[in-house]
Amino acid sequence: MKLNYTISFADFKAAQRLHRHQKLGRRISFILLYVAVPVLAVLGWFCWPLPSSTPAAVSLGLGILEVVLVWFAISLPISRIYETRKGFKRLFAPTRMDRSNFVEIDDERILYATPGISETKFSWNAVVEFAQDEKVTLLYVSKRAFITMPTPDFSPEQRAELNALLARHLPKGGK
């Protein structure tokens, strides 16, 4: 099976989202950092006026905690947006105008190439996991490194062939 494709920024974000949803720990950390912290910051903001009987040390401590929560609630999403864009730009050499990639998958190996830049061959023993949704397909070659391919670029025959290859070669613990 051979596939020529181009990774867009939307594909990259979809791959990051699918990767994040593969493990419970990643889901929990995302919820804590990007949902719970902003909710606590907003709740703290509305609960800020403390009764006058509150000791000064407690009021100061809660004030510092609120400032820290607001800082994280603002800076974490901004840094995530920045790091996502930076990660996407790192996929491509600065002088490269064409963003096409090539993957060839058969019973012996997986050949992943960025024309004019690099070519990497993986044996099936290197593939540790597989994830797919309607937007992207991920072939994991380590816990955090994966080959990203847009799922809509696969023909129905290629998807069937890929599923058959994965069934034959993926370790039993892989998805």
Q: CATH number of the domain that 120 lies in?
A: 2.30.29.30
Please give the Cα distance from 39 to 58 (Å, whole number). 21
Structure tokens at 150: 């847009």
pLDDT for 49: 66
- If you count DSSP H runs as helices and E runs as strands, how many of each does the chain have, helices first? 5, 7
Looking at the structure, do residues 160 and 118 belong to the same domain, yes or no?
yes
Query: The domain containing residue 46 runs over which residues?
Result: 10-90
Residues forming a β-bridge with 109 = 123
Total count of domains within the chain: 2
The answer to the question of residue 175 being in a domain is no
The answer to the question of residue 68 being in a domain is yes
Output the tens digit of pLDDT for each of the chain's 175 residues: 999 999 999 999 999 999 999 999 999 999 999 999 999 888 887 876 666 666 777 777 777 888 899 999 999 999 999 999 999 988 887 777 778 899 999 999 999 998 878 899 999 999 999 999 999 999 999 888 999 999 999 999 999 999 999 998 886 655 5
Please give the Cα distance from 43 to 38 (Å, whole number). 9
The amino acid at residue 16 is Q
Q: How many CA atoms lie within 13 A of 19 on its CB side?
A: 18
Mean pLDDT of the chain: 88
Looking at the structure, do residues 45 and 116 belong to the same domain, yes or no?
no
Asked which of 34, 68, 90 is the last residue of a domain, the reply is 90
The answer to the question of residue 174 being in a domain is no
The model's pTM:
0.82
Asked which of 54, 75, 90 is the last residue of a domain, the reply is 90
Q: How many CA atoms lie within 13 A of 100 on its CB side?
A: 8
φ/ψ region of 171 (left if φ > 0, alpha if ψ in -120 to 50, else beta) reads beta
